[in-house]
Amino acid sequence: MSLLPPPRTPVPSPSRASLRAHLLASGIAGPVATTREASLRSYRLFAARDPRVLLGLDPAGVWRERDVLTLMARRCGVSADPRRREGVDTVDPDRTLLALDRFAVRLGRAVSDRRPVLFGTGHPHRLLGFYAALSRAVSAAGGHVLTPAQGRSVDITTRFGLRTHRIDYVQGVALVRAEAAPGAGCEPGAHCHSPLPVRVVLGAAAEDGGPLPGLVVGDHGWACGAGQLGFETIGPADTDDPAPFVGEAEGRVAVAVPLDDGVRSACYEPLTRYVLNRACLSP
């Protein structure tokens, strides 16, 4: 009697129409949980060049609060009316689908060109599964998934002050763990917007003489920090994170996918299958 688990039946990629319906039903797009107040506050802080919302990006242009709102309305589908100050924000599902298409093209091209790929997330509680599935598919296709700086320490400013974190990889995806946190090493990882981890990772790769990424797939500081340094970068971003979309507008970020990045992790599985199908990669 075989002790091996039964073979897993492949789940087909969702059609464009069914994925659009899923985006709306799950709250990944459409009316999202991110509040209008939170988004407008981020746009105001971005205009003031507050490092907490720049995420490692150094904008080349002058971005006033109204400019940021106009951009986010165009890229995400939020209301462009500055008088609308309350309620929830909105992501246009069609903009999400178009961005996922471009995301898939970039990922598939990196694999076919044999360029090393680095995955990293500041949202491991929600997005780790999304990135891990992409990482497995890249490796299965013969691609090179990078994991430099494993175990390196990085000091990150948090709301509790300066805290030491450790870089770790889970299924090929970089994240950070708070060294002093109870149960450190067991939790999925820390929520982090800082660009410092990706700078440490890229610096370690250069110091070791190993390959540098031809594509970085990530969010928050992983996306903007790498994009600012000139690396091709793709990843998701919420309506209260204008930096990736400004980076995209200025040519620092290749693709920013508008979506709610805080829904249940399982809700992103159809997006993963859609991207892998479009990228011609097996799940």
DSSP 226-273: HHHTT--EEEEE-TT-HHHHHHHHTTSSSEEEE--TTS-GGGGHHHHH
Q: Is the pLDDT of residue 9 over 70?
A: no
Q: What is the pLDDT of residue 64?
A: 98
Mean pLDDT of 115-123: 97
Flag whether the pTM goes above 0.85: yes
- Interval 122-158: pLDDT, tens: 999 999 999 999 999 999 999 999 999 999 999 998 7
Residue 112's pLDDT band, with cuts at 50, 70 and 90, is very high
10 Å CB burial of residue 193 (0-12, 13-18, 19+) is: buried
pLDDT tens digits for range 150-180: 999 999 987 777 889 999 999 999 999 987 6
Per-residue pLDDT at 3:
43
Instruction: Retrieve residue 264's tokens.
Output: 């249940």
| Overall residue count recorded for the chain in this entry | 283
Between CA 230 and CA 151 the distance in angstroms is 25
pLDDT score of 29? 98
Give the E-state strand segments of 137-180 in sequence order.
Answer: 153-158, 161-170, 173-178
